Amino acid sequence: MKRTLVLRSPEIRDRAISALAALNLQTKKPWCVEIKPYTQPRNLEQNALYWACVQQIARHVGHSSDDIHEIVKMKFLAPTVVELPDGDYSVVKSTTRLNKEEMSELIDQVCAWGASLGVEFDR
Mean pLDDT of the region 5-11: 88
Tell me what the pLDDT averaged over the chain comes to. Answer: 92
Q: How is the chain split into domains, by residue range?
A: 44-116
Q: What is the pLDDT of residue 35?
A: 87
Mean pLDDT of the region 12-39: 88
Mean pLDDT of the region 77-99: 93
Mean pLDDT of the region 92-99: 91
Task: Provide the angle, in degrees to the nearest 10, between the axes of the packed helices 65-76 and 100-116.
Answer: 110
Task: With cut-offs at 50, 70 and 90, classify the pLDDT of residue 123.
Answer: low
Regarding the domain delimited by 44-116, which CATH topology (the fold level of the hierarchy) does it fall under? NinB fold (1.10.3790)
